[in-house]
Amino acid sequence: MNNIPVLHVTERSLAEAYENALIRLYNEGTRFETQYDKPGDPPSLDCTMNVTILEPDADPIIHQAFPGGIDDLKEYVMELKGFKDHWVKNMNDPDDTRWEYTYHGRLQRYGSWKELEGKDDKKQQVDVGFQVDQVEHVIRKLVDQPFTRQAQMITWMPNHDLEVYDPPCLQSLWYRIMEDDDGTQWLNCNIRFRSNDAWGASFMNMFGFIQFNREVIADEIASRSGRTVKLGRMNWQADSYHIYGRDIKQAKEMLFDRIESMSLEERTFNFNDDFIREMYNESEERVLMKIRQYDREHA
């Protein structure tokens, strides 16, 4: 095969889009080795994938076949809001093994990195370099001119990311607002990943950015403009949409082998059900405790 397959999926809800994207990848993807393979790992399944979710807020939202739980979804949404930004390492300390970045940090403080400042036991991390609050710029642009083509955020810092072991997978977010005949504004979004772990991460990624788009972007636009702003379609492009070879067996057992014997309702949860919403909201305190525990251990 000379060409990497380019696959397209369009579905109404997140759960349906996630499932069908995995099925298309499983049936039509190609095989690749990766730099993260361990000895004996089979090749990964890979393709370039374009997923369009027409109604990101519509149930069924949660698919049961993802390797995580409700607490993990809440934790990821909180991470996208900046709750782990202080976990990023000091770039000038070769012994600091913490995170290279957070997506929130790259979006809200693009261009900055961490250094230690102060003396002895009073040293603390501070942001240095230039800083661009892309989140604020995007919100302001969309309030002032909803049809702008310039409401974009990026994460890639070539001066740093070309040399690190694990650079950002998320590359860009692009927004534009449509308005219907009733005057309701619909926030449309394009999101591009250079690399997206279809089984291990993509559902959490998609869920997280749907919540980010509503709670951080759309709600703030509505607050400033006095308009009703809802989520329009989200288009998700992954240059490499893949299932690692070591995960194919689990994906078969949890999803592919169950498609024929289980209905969609049995394979998904409605996020808007009171019970699931309650579980999701109650998980915030557990996530905060987890973050505080990490902070104590890595003080």
Cα maximum dimension of the chain:
64
Tell me the mean pLDDT in the region 22-40. Answer: 93
* Percentage of residues of the chain with pLDDT beyond 70: 94
pLDDT band at 124 (very low <50, low <70, confident <90, very high): low
Tokens of 267: 């394979």
Query: What is the pLDDT, as a whole number, of residue 121?
Result: 62
pLDDT at 266 over 90: yes
**Any idea where the domains of the chain sit in the sequence?**
6-297
Q: What's the chain's average pLDDT? A: 93
pLDDT band at 258 (very low <50, low <70, confident <90, very high): very high
Query: What is the pLDDT, as a whole number, of residue 60?
Result: 98
The residue with greater pLDDT, 122 or 234, is 234
Query: What is the pLDDT, as a whole number, of residue 162?
Result: 93
CATH superfamily of 6-297: Thymidylate synthase/dCMP hydroxymethylase domain (3.30.572.10)
Q: Which of 170, 161, 160 is nearest to 212 (CA)?
A: 170
Query: What is the pLDDT, as a whole number, of residue 62?
Result: 97
Query: What is the pLDDT, as a whole number, of residue 85?
Result: 94
**Strand partners for 237:** 50, 192
Structural contact between residues 242 and 46, judged by C-beta atoms closer than 8 angstroms? yes
Q: How many residues does the chain have?
A: 299
Sequence-separated (6 or more) residues with CB below 8 Å from residue 193: 169, 170, 171, 205, 236, 237, 238, 239, 241
